[in-house]
Structure 1
Amino acid sequence: MNIIKTTTYICVIAVSSWILPSCSGDFVNTKPLDQVLGEEVWEDPALAEAAVTGIYAGLGNGGFDEQMLASLTDEAMFTHPGRGITTITEARSNPADIGWVNNTLAWGNMYSYIRAANVAIDNLAEPAFSDQELADQLMGEAKFMRAYYNHQLLRYFGAFPIVDVAYKLGEESYDIPRNTWEECINHIIEDLDDSAGLLAGKNMQSGRTNQIAAMALKARVLLYAASDLHDVPTASAKSSTISSYSNPEYIGYTTGDRMSRWQQARDAAKAVMDIDDGNLLNLSAPVSHEEGIANYMNNSLSRNGGENELIFARYFINAKQENGGRQGLFNGPNGYNNWAGNSPIQLLVDDYEMMDGTEFDWDNSEHASAPYENRDARFYASILYDGSQWKPRSSANQPRDPLGQIQSGTYEVVVDGKKVVHFGLDTRNSPIEDWNGSYTGYYVRKFTDPNPNIVDQNTWQEIPWPFLRYTEAVLNYVEACLELGQEEEARIWLNRIRYRVGMPAITDSGEALVERYRNERRVELAYEEHRYHDTRRWMIAEETLGRKANGINIVGAFKPGKTADLYRYDPTVYDYSYDVFLIDPGKENRMWLDKMYFLPIHRDEMNRNSLLIQNPGYTN
């Protein structure tokens, strides 16, 4: 995105009349050709629109980058060392070194874009151009973007100092205390309500916000606000770190009717669902397993109708060669000359149900002997596992694997009449880029274009990142219904999501239904930056984010009387054995400390603003 420079500039030039006695006015016009005066931006509709477009730049590549938030959770493990990932996963985060969270998420970075939104809001309140309809649209966009960046601060750091004016040089003070959690929620909701009203009925371009996006973000913010972590009495009962914090008003509600907060979250989510025409989730019975795989694949790739799921997204264009188009390279198998970055861990794989809706169980001999058969359709659309049919390999490597199958195990082959060990092409013992192999035995399929013409090593794809999508709003509605005791309504909508991917209805109730809902949210929204926040706000991070990462060892041995000169996945030729193992603690040694419920405010920000108070569990 192009960002128009909107800072007003001042040029001072001294010219002696005796040196240049006959200078023309044009000659001394020193207005730079590559900048625009701040006041001129807001007098010109096109420049004003360009300035508001610049506010979106704070979104970066969305969740598509070499490092993904999934690797801070029980979804994935980051393959490469030294990137700040383990600072988070090993609970070593501190004010001097927060660790890696997201390339766009930094306290100062969020505030720089909040300031850009404030500049736009100030100038659009009484627009200097005559197109009021455009002014309303731009105001709606600016308010949404301010709300979005504030919501980022809120869900990572807790309450923040509300800045709703554009500070200038020469202010009496720049020290601002944190507002309360409740004040921050109210500020964000007010902006989103204003945005929804201003954008109502407007036909917005893809990639720009819209009325339903404002409503969907409101539903998310209210859902988070009602959750355990942000109800201080509930959170304090579960965590001594929180109960001993002297400023609980920064991390949640200290008083009030929690059920009314759940009702507000329910109503906000239902409002999003009511705007939709009902065609996205109107099923009354499961589709076939094959159709379920196709449905989920289309949703994650945003094609063949799946694009209708998107409410607000970051789009990418091949020609711009942005990192957001490199997911295949960043996460794909080393045997395809890719980098294996955010590899799925066994904890996630095991949480995909069987096709009949029962849990997968390693103690079940039938499951353990064929762990990749008869699983939830979303497993096949999300995970590349040993034997997955994938793209053709490069011309140099096709002779080793003419079928294009994932090889993440160790197998026997016959070479010159002798049985030898063959290391799969997608392992860390591969003859192809062994340093880029997954430690877990899995690779990400979700969000990766399966088109064989998209060669991940050197081609950029155009799959959008879903900041907000329809099914998240439905899941938010289901959760609020559960908290309000409306189990039948919750089951109806939860089952509609399951029917779309060919899964049978859930009939559970009580705590069992809550657990089924949480697992459904886990697999439906995998790799979409929800798990990190969900497990924290539910306060189950110790048993989820704190669990050791694990993977799978696979060995294929010849069946009696069988041989093969070139390996391919074939259960008629090979007996396969599967062994789950914990990742070497020298590579990653996960643990959980309750301070990690909130990120620390960086030491530099604390030094800049003497009124800031640090989050629970940290000292400056």
Structure 2
Amino acid sequence: MKKILSTLLIFAGLMTSCDSLLDIDPEFTQDAENFFNTEEDFERALIGAYDLMQTAYLQIFIGEIASDNSIAGGESVTDTQGLHEIDNMAHGGVNAELRDVMRFNYTGIARVNYIFEFQDKLDFSGKEQLLAQAHFLRAYYYFTLVTYFGDMPLIVDQRISLSEIARSERTPKEDIYAQIERDLAVAIEVLPWIQPEVGRITKGASMALLGKVLLYQNKFTEAASVLDDLISNNQAGYGLFEDFSRLFYVVNENVNEDVFTIQYSGQQGGDYGCFVCLQGNLAVGFHGIRQYNGPLYGDGNSYNLPTQNLYDAFSPGDIRRDATILDIEAFIASQPNPSAISYAQGAGGHTGYYNNKYIKRLDERGLPDDDLTSPLNYRAIRYADVLLMAAEAFARTGNDGRARTELNKVRERAGMNAINSSGQVLLDDILKERRLELSGEGYRFFDLVRTGKAAETIQGFQEGKHELFPIPQVEIDLAGGNWNQNPGY
């Protein structure tokens, strides 16, 4: 089975992509009037809508660096300065990374809306399945926007441009969530449990995302129902991969634990001029060990470095610690020739630790420049996350027994003793387990915010301000006064 790769015609969105195409139409031959005339046109449009999911490297960066899990790192404090500002809770309306989050996700929405605008132009077998995938993609992009920025313009079923977004008022987040739920309901109703092509959205992925969306809104009863349905009626064979220590290796991609996975390829080159054009996972090379020369790992840029606080949160016997965090000095000391191994520390900060889930390994590199072309997929939602979300939803609705059942499945796989707590202690245990199980994957900041624990956990976090990120100032300027900045910025 082949993966969905994004060699596509870019025909809609907020920016022009610089993807290399093998078969490209003559310039200016495709427009709304002569497109969507064939099933192939719709398929190409859908692949274009999938493409923007590959910017998920920003989720891995920001979701960890904004929290207590990691520091920005890198070559210097002015190298990718926006990440250092987020690390220090000093970010404002001028931040390249946050602007990318907004623009990339609206680009994805624009491509989805382009499909829906012309959905009635042609009928063909399988169109309902295609549109259901598009519904999921729009839900995913809007969910990212609403969790980062809160109220945002909500535009559906029509093409959008920067100027149109700027002329639109910000829609209350409750209305955006309602649209997300409607889109996911369609996807759940129509999509199969298993797709014939790896990487396409499934019924299970749609249910998992809906459970997460409901959890983020504190709709715990509804979340428990959806996640219970996913676990109890699991027809896709989801489960916990047996060997956690090797789960985040390329050879173990698309296994039973993968519920919603964003696919990458190392077979297309890239450059630093256009990160959105990449088909490889940029985060992996950026997490690599700076100027490293030694076994197993490849060199990289030393970003998103785990903290001592995170390392110490693990029990020494928890197999997830070393699978999640590379202690570089301990690793070198354990090798037969430690004196022959060398690396450098970036001036952007050094903790002695590296993200061992999404890190460059010597036998997993893509085409040059291999800092940009890793084939390692991003697990946006894996089955362990489903179980922990369900555990939380059950605990918050008074079903402690079922909460412990789902929680202890995750702990058993990690070789840890069962939890027997109840009430608030059980809920705290579940949230702690989320950190241990999912650290390094981009969820931590948003978990702390939605559970009200960010101010007590993140240094410099200000209540009433940092729950949301600032709207990029340039977008406010383009909106001509239609948008107010988020509180505190």
Normalising to structure 1: TM-score of the pair?
A: 0.65
Q: Which residue of 1 aligns with 2:170?
A: 178
- The answer to whether the aligner puts 1:380 opposite 2:327 as a matched pair is no
Contact 1:62 1:324 in 2 (8 A): no
Q: Matches of 2:202 and 2:282 in 1, distance apart?
A: 27
Q: Matches of 2:88 and 2:477 in 1, distance apart?
A: 26
Q: Which residue of 2 aligns with 1:90?
A: 88
Q: Which residue of 2 aligns with 1:615?
A: 486
1:266 to partner: Cα distance: 0.9
Q: Deviations over 1:278-322 (max 9, x none)?
A: 96558xxxxxxxxx9x72133323645872111222222222145
In the alignment, structure 1 segments of 5+ residues that lack a partner are 8-30, 227-260, 283-291, 354-373, 391-399, 408-423, 427-431, 547-589
Q: Which residue of 2 aligns with 1:339?
A: 301
Q: Matches of 1:53 and 1:536 in 2, distance apart?
A: 33
Q: 1:100 aligns with which of 72, 97, 100?
A: 97
Q: Which residue of 2 aligns with 1:240?
A: none
1:215 to partner: Cα distance: 1.4
- The answer to whether the aligner puts 1:448 opposite 2:339 as a matched pair is no
Q: Which residue of 2 aligns with 1:411?
A: none
Q: 1:599 aligns with which of 447, 451, 469?
A: 469
Q: Which residue of 1 aligns with 2:454?
A: 541
- The answer to whether the aligner puts 1:131 opposite 2:124 as a matched pair is yes
Q: 2:201 aligns with which of 209, 215, 221?
A: 209
Q: Matches of 1:402 and 1:45 in 2, distance apart?
A: 55
Q: Matches of 2:473 and 2:360 in 1, distance apart?
A: 41
Q: Matches of 1:513 and 1:65 in 2, distance apart?
A: 28
Counterpart of 1:338 in structure 2: which amino acid? G
**What secondary structure is seen at the aligned counterpart in 1 of 2:380?**
strand
- The answer to whether the aligner puts 1:58 opposite 2:52 as a matched pair is yes
In the alignment, structure 2 segments of 5+ residues that lack a partner are 1-5, 13-24, 270-277, 294-298
Counterpart of 2:124 in structure 1: which amino acid? D
Contact 1:5 1:35 in 2 (8 A): no
Structure 1 pair 273/164, CA: closer, same or farther in 2 (3 Å)?
Answer: same
Counterpart of 1:598 in structure 2: which amino acid? L
Q: 2:336 aligns with which of 385, 403, 411?
A: 403
**What secondary structure is seen at the aligned counterpart in 2 of 1:504?**
coil
Q: Which residue of 2 aligns with 1:320?
A: 268
Structure 1 pair 449/274, CA: closer, same or farther in 2 (3 Å)?
Answer: farther
- The answer to whether the aligner puts 1:2 opposite 2:7 as a matched pair is yes
Structure 1 pair 40/477, CA: closer, same or farther in 2 (3 Å)?
Answer: same
Q: 1:196 aligns with which of 177, 188, 198?
A: 188
Q: Deviations over 1:362-418 (max 9, x none)?
A: xxxxxxxxxxxx42010121111255447xxxxxxxxx996266x9xxxxxxxxxxx
Contact 1:312 1:467 in 2 (8 A): yes
Q: Which residue of 2 aligns with 1:558?
A: none
**What secondary structure is seen at the aligned counterpart in 2 of 1:468?**
strand
1:93 to partner: Cα distance: 2.5
Structure 1 pair 277/303, CA: closer, same or farther in 2 (3 Å)?
Answer: farther
| Identity within the alignment, % | 24
**What secondary structure is seen at the aligned counterpart in 2 of 1:443?**
strand
Q: Matches of 2:206 and 2:258 in 1, distance apart?
A: 13
- In terms of fraction of residues, the more helix-rich structure is 2
What's the C-alpha RMSD, in Å, of the aligned pairs? 3.3
- The answer to whether the aligner puts 1:42 opposite 2:32 as a matched pair is no
1:332 to partner: Cα distance: 3.0
Structure 1 pair 501/163, CA: closer, same or farther in 2 (3 Å)?
Answer: same
1:168 to partner: Cα distance: 7.1
1:327 to partner: Cα distance: 5.2
Structure 1 pair 492/66, CA: closer, same or farther in 2 (3 Å)?
Answer: closer
The structure with the largest alpha-carbon Rg is 1
Q: Deviations over 1:515-563 (max 9, x none)?
A: 21111100111111110110111121122222xxxxxxxxxxxxxxxxx
Q: Deviations over 1:337-367 (max 9, x none)?
A: 43322211111001112xxxxxxxxxxxxxx
- The answer to whether the aligner puts 1:70 opposite 2:68 as a matched pair is no
Structure 1 pair 155/453, CA: closer, same or farther in 2 (3 Å)?
Answer: closer
Structure 1 pair 152/538, CA: closer, same or farther in 2 (3 Å)?
Answer: same
Structure 1 pair 447/276, CA: closer, same or farther in 2 (3 Å)?
Answer: farther
1:99 to partner: Cα distance: 5.9
1:486 to partner: Cα distance: 1.0
- The answer to whether the aligner puts 1:166 opposite 2:114 as a matched pair is no
Q: Matches of 2:368 and 2:381 in 1, distance apart?
A: 29
1:45 to partner: Cα distance: 0.8
Q: Deviations over 1:199-248 (max 9, x none)?
A: 2366242222122212111111100011xxxxxxxxxxxxxxxxxxxxxx
Q: 1:299 aligns with which of 239, 247, 250?
A: 247
Structure 1 stretches of 4+ moved >6 Å: 171-174, 455-458
Alignment of 1:104-119 (within 5 A): 104-106=100-102, 108-119=103-114
Q: 1:352 aligns with which of 314, 322, 341?
A: 314
Q: Matches of 1:54 and 1:519 in 2, distance apart?
A: 38
Structure 1 pair 36/375, CA: closer, same or farther in 2 (3 Å)?
Answer: same
Q: Matches of 2:60 and 2:405 in 1, distance apart?
A: 38
1:606 to partner: Cα distance: 2.5
Q: Which residue of 2 aligns with 1:16?
A: none
Structure 1 pair 201/61, CA: closer, same or farther in 2 (3 Å)?
Answer: same
Alignment of 1:261-276 (within 5 A): 261-276=219-234
**What secondary structure is seen at the aligned counterpart in 1 of 2:466?**
helix
**What secondary structure is seen at the aligned counterpart in 2 of 1:319?**
coil
